[in-house]
Amino acid sequence: MTGILYLIPAPMGGDTINDILPLDVIETAKRLTHFVVENAKTTRAHLKMLGTPHELRSLSMSELSEHTKEHEVTALLQPLLDGFDVGLMSEAGCPGVADPGARLVQLAHQRGIQVVPLVGPSSLLMALMASGANGQKFRFNGYLPSDATGRVQAIRQLEASSSKESQAELFIETPYRNGALFQALRDNLKAHTRLTVACDISLPSQEILTLEIGQWKKKPEPQIHKRPTVFIIQA
């Protein structure tokens, strides 16, 4: 029999691990000896905080990133095919969502391997919950273009789509470019379009604020440089 692929959410801040992961998730992670992870060092730190009874160096831990080649992803299924349960963990948040782990999940389905998602923090859903935007119709757009011209074009397209469909538009940015993205949003969205800036979700430093663009222009720029942030617009 094949093993089970468990999708184990990782905390988005190391000191909050026991507050945001349910007991059954913690116990499942502690039981497993085989993992596919985005970052081995980060995962070992998480497992240590969870209280794994296994020596960290004894754990089978393979990395899966955006740079992993297709044949290498296929090879990551082998422990499952050998009958071992495997935990898939992102560096932070839910595996498979804005995360390269989705490639392994797809292959697992193709091979008839059982996939079990476990409860844990998702910065995207938590930001949407707290935004006041349309939670019945929304779209996650990943990263916007990094070049200034492409970024502005994408912002205007998302605003038009949000207005036409009454749809919340979610997106993220590499944290060190958060300031440039915020400035582009403030300068190019219409005055009555609502913008949510949700920073450090689930951490003690969490900040979530939704304002119309006209209101954002009257406030100091939020301090979001190098802090994980979700942006949401609702036109």
Please give the CATH architecture assigned to the domain spanning 5-117.
3-Layer(aba) Sandwich (3.40)
Instruction: Give this prediction's pTM.
Output: 0.89
Where does 50-186 show beta strands of DSSP type E?
60-63, 86-89, 115-117, 138-143, 168-172
Residue environment code for 189-213, b if the CB has 16+ CB neighbours within 10 A, otherwise e: beeebbbbbbbbbbbeeeebebeeb
Q: For residue 92, name the pLDDT band (cuts at 50, 70, 90).
A: confident
121 phi, psi to nearest 5 deg: -75, 135
Encode pLDDT of 40-71 as tens digits.
998 998 899 888 999 999 999 999 998 999 89
Q: CATH 3.30.950.10: which residues of the chain?
A: 123-234
In the CATH hierarchy, which top-level class contains the domain 123-234? Answer: alpha beta
Q: Where do you find CATH 3.40.1010.10 in the chain?
A: 5-117
15, pLDDT greater than 80: no
Q: Which of 119-123, 126-130, 145-149, 188-192 is the least confident region? A: 119-123
